[in-house]
Structure 1
């Protein structure tokens, strides 16, 4: 999530046409496509071991509440018939490149977010197609014809609304939020549905009596900044349907990170170490997804009074395994014990990345 909101003085001079493409249950759908025995059955891509994490869940599994980033033991408890499949990241990468080639026939302005998700700016598209919805239809039809996989699309005049729109008609659908619809669409949206607002932040909004986009819009900018810091600026503008962030072609960031705000503040090493495990899982899963590796490990600690400290360590060679990432992360935490105050949030990130593939955005703000 951006740390600051858009600059209203930097508003585009023309109404942009932004498409957000999101493959439907991508990893799981690939496995079902390639293995007829998995079709129509609940499938989770990821590790089935006690410390495993679900990387992707089929729609059959989602009916039982199974979600990506969920611990495998929790997923199995929710869905006893769940079938775990080992990830095949090289296959997913190859399909992702195939899909990206389809995008490139329409626009060079492509911002990949992951292997299965991207923004496209089609304001001035290569095919000269006037309506973005028609471009999205063509892209989705090509993806289906060439990969036998489904994609959903959101079409709007900015990235924030395009992302919301792509979720609105999943799976295998698309939705348009026009400039005339934008403000009303955001007004009716529960804060927990906003992209970039996780459960802990949604709970904080609710505790302040703020439940919808309209409720956010009614707040002053100083009020939102007081309670949410720099993110308050972002919330102020998106509650008005305003987001001037450009689609950044071939965007490369330099870190992969995950963090989590706890329901209850922590003081002891053991529960903190336990809370770090899913964060380490997420960071390493994205390392495997992108093929990137990093040399600098950073631990972020936010205390109950919102003070923040970070501790980093760089190693000579890129971190080569999840076990190494865990060892280094826990060592950073152990070196700070005992901590002077209760902890409300922990985060882990990898930087000094060695990039395996240009054009993949590897700065991932993953809030759980």
Structure 2
């Protein structure tokens, strides 16, 4: 048994894993609503490491071992989960399309049959890697002692387990470098905004997580050679790089969706004053009565549909009230828009809102 306290690892791993699982659920929900191969790859790429972090927490690690009656079996699940992320990351690096190469606004819609052929080949390589890791682990005899935090350095002297560890780290390191390289190039071509910031966070997280791979490889190599005193690279510094990298990558995947959700919620609430005018003009225009102030504040789901419906009902109210629009109000609003130097869209919106009000 390791004398390293479990609590910090439980808190960090379960915390990061829980947040990542939540992000994965949102991505899967988005894919369900608007299916596309690329979005499904994103969702699965987040899901695999999210579950790996949860399983890596010592409390669940030990529970899995007890349930399976096999020590350290959870290590195999954790490393296969990270290998799943590596496979997804390499696939994303191929199907993400630079803006200049897109026929439209889709990020991956421009992926060709050649691209998908490359993706399938790389996924086949990682599938073979996962199979080899499983065989090496199960035949390596790393059952005792149970070491949720020091597995790598404890069993580095076992030839089969050392091969298992090196294969895992090689696949993970390759994926991190690949996705980091692609994300940096992709971000450089994007306009400033949430998507660009999110992709930069993914790239930064991949670079930071490379520190985990380096620490682990040094610790494994020195342990296999019989050198002592480097365990801290595997048990302390390596997990710091892993946790920080995972947090940055998760934030990178979540931030564009979070920004879009915030924008939709702001638009939904901003339309409330005009919607109230339309409702007062003719209550039959609305599907339901005005929501209370608290209901409005707590509106978190289906914001895109709610905003679109609210806009349509305002439009119906505008058509209903058109015979009573005061020309003087339209003229005044036009002058205000001209003095403010508004563009065509904002100018039209101001005039419509003022005349409706």
Higher strand share: 1
Which structure's CA Rg is the greater one?
2
Higher helix fraction (1 or 2): 2
- Please confirm whether the aligned pair reaches a TM-score higher than 0.5, indicating the same fold: no
Structure number with the bigger relative contact order (C-alpha 8 A, sep ≥ 6) is 1
TM-score in terms of structure 2 length: 0.26
Q: TM-score, normalised by structure 1?
A: 0.26
